[in-house]
A and B are shown apart, each in its own frame.
With several copies, the nearest count.
Chain A
């Protein structure tokens, strides 16, 4: 889960990482007041989209009036599809230099990794590999001062900045570790008046560890539909196509979407009902899918833990309740397959055993709809 910049900065600041003076504002008046208190400010849209600066999500203002106007313009606007409801009004920094510092998990190395560069800022991803220094963290040891020192020296830092870099890196790791983060990032790590400061802040918490952090407010920017389906314990992503897809397992759901595309169709969503969800959530999710009015629905179930008869039951339940006006193509094989087919037959629902045939049928149905 990504945290908003202002939340990440609050946590950084609480852990003694220097951050700019700032106020979170929900309306232009608050922004004006903040600017009055702070002086010249940057006004930053609080959205979770990447590339915010390039997308116009940051404005500057010298006076409260300018701040009010800039905030008014940002608030209510959209940054890469995310509506702006809050802005962070922050002291405008006199940045002398921009470094980069991040900690994340390197899946290949199966370790947390510190990454740092002298060339921070918005173009960090174009920085050549040799300008990035890194250190893999042994989870049995953690990040120690000597490792941070080694990174700082390799960046060519000296004296005061070197010492600040070491302290800040160790603190960032403490936050990364204590908050079960997947990412703790400062970009730019700005040099302001000869001192290091977190000009921006990112902190992504591992969703699977949120239960250990009841104090962290859940940030969920999904649509109502996404939230409703997630509430059923299922994994859902909205897409652009017109064929609703439901399958059991992330891999097979993706493979179903891929196959659809290769046969000329386009998935309207990713919905994984894997892991023995039971017929009730499956029926509810199916209803929610139907409510989006797709051209067709493709259900691809390879029954393992998911039992085919439960899938059949979910389908029958939905059909009984509201009928099936939208073409529904079902592929069903695996555990309790025969019971399922018998039940479906009794309710006039047909199904495929072959995935290719089912996908072809779904594409045809969507084209004819």
Chain B
């Protein structure tokens, strides 16, 4: 099985009756994802594209026992939606919603650990096991099954890379968006660990960007990782980003820039692509 999800993964959609929720439910169904139920408080009893809608996650679980949930509710309600899924015992929570308050995410990350659940996101495009299951908002046609694991912070850029991989005949084992926020549930390091243990994955592509220290932390893990890693990082031309006071500088200690990230990754043997379209060639080299 690919990471977290497979053909039989039963998926719940929280916020299924909203525009985004309904549109992407349709796309996921079209991809073959087993969307078993949806939740929107106050809309229980309806159907969206043949999928039954419940008022609460608990009620949906009693009937459908989903393995994962995708959260499409507005930012102000996403925290409680994720809590509801956590309390109900769902073990994979994909928070598509963006603009979650940072303090909410901090609490969710801590509570997910308590509950033994994995949160992907917030502000993620989701996770896909090509031809098997998709939980997210990525375009359906660009993925092919294959040996390359792909983990990215940002959506469209990862689509660009995934499409170029597919065009080059390099399919993907699992593609994970960890989310674009400063604090996210599943980290690069955790995703790399999972790819390391995944027998289907032979090489990993990491799509990162400037800001934060996630790529530097990934580099520390890649040092002892037995599988090859190719990275593309966005932001080489960007001006220094907004700084979080002196405190941010004290924590980052020079990390976070394009140069620092490239250096950290190159030092541990990762190949760096200068352009997105160079990724497939570098993957071929290391496979």
Contact = CB atoms under 8 A, between A and B. Distances in A.
Q: Do A and B contact each other directly (Cβ–Cβ < 8 Å)?
A: yes
Interface of A: 50, 100, 102-108, 110-113, 115, 124-125, 127, 129, 132, 138-141, 144-147, 149-150, 153, 177, 180, 182-183, 185, 187, 202, 204, 206-209, 211-212, 239, 247-252, 254-255, 257-262, 267, 270, 274-276, 302-306, 333-335, 355-356
Given A257-B238, A302-B160, A356-B277, A249 B154 contact: yes
A250 B154 contact: yes
A110 B239 CA distance: 25
Nearest to A113: B251
Contacts of A105: 102, 106, 182-183, 244
Contacts of B155: 249, 251, 274, 304
Given A102-B246, A140-B110, A302-B156, 11 more contacts: A107-B212, A107-B214, A108-B213, A145-B41, A145-B80, A239-B239, A247-B156, A251-B209, A262-B274, A267-B237, A304-B139
B207 interface: yes
13 contacts: A104-B245, A239-B239, A250-B154, A251-B153, A251-B157, A254-B210, A255-B234, A258-B237, A262-B237, A274-B155, A302-B156, A304-B155, A304-B159
A252 B157 contact: yes
Given A150-B56, A248-B156, A257-B238, A110 B80 contact: no
Nearest to B246: A124
4 tightest CB-CB pairs across the interface, nearest first?
Answer: A251-B154, A249-B156, A251-B157, A209-B101
Contact of B183 (A107, A149, A261): A107
A150 B156 contact: no
A103 B247 contact: yes
Interface in B228-248: 232, 234-239, 243-248
Contacts of A302: 156, 159-160, 163
Nearest to B153: A251
Given A254-B235, A258-B235, A112 B275 contact: no
B22 interface: no
A241 B151 CA distance: 31
B251 A115 contact: yes
B46 interface: no
Nearest to A255: B234
A355 B209 contact: no
Contact of A129 (B84, B236, B253): B253
Nearest to A136: B87
B101 A206 contact: yes
A109 to B, nearest CB: 9
A204 B244 contact: yes
Given A140-B110, A250-B154, A208 B183 contact: no
A217 B254 CA distance: 33
Contact of A146 (B84, B160, B210, B245): B84
B59 A275 contact: no
A234 B137 CA distance: 19
Nearest to A334: B139
Given A108-B214, A249-B155, A153 B234 contact: no
Interface in B206-224: 207, 209-210, 212-214, 217
A147 B41 CA distance: 11
Given A100-B246, A202-B245, A333-B163, A147 B213 contact: no
Contacts of A107: 182-183, 212-214
A208 B86 CA distance: 22
A340 to B, nearest CB: 14
B184 to A, nearest CB: 8
Interface in B58-89: 58-59, 75-76, 80-81, 83-84, 86-87
Given A185-B247, A252-B156, A335 B59 contact: no
Contact of A104 (B58, B247, B277): B247
B247 A255 contact: no
Contact of A106 (B238, B249, B251, B276): B251
A261 B137 contact: no
A141 B275 contact: no
Interface string B105-146: 011011100100000000001000000000001110010000
Contacts of A108: 212-214, 217, 251
Contacts of B110: 111, 138-140
A153 B106 contact: no
B17 interface: no
Contacts of B99: 207-208
Contacts of A249: 154-157
B171 interface: no
A60 B139 CA distance: 60
A290 B118 CA distance: 45
Nearest to A50: B243
A32 B89 CA distance: 57
B150 interface: no
B202 interface: no
A40 B124 CA distance: 54
B52 interface: no
B280 interface: no
Interface in B173-221: 180, 182-184, 187, 207, 209-210, 212-214, 217
Contacts of B57: 146
Given A108-B212, A125-B246, A125-B250, A261 B154 contact: no
Contacts of B237: 254, 257-258, 260-262, 267
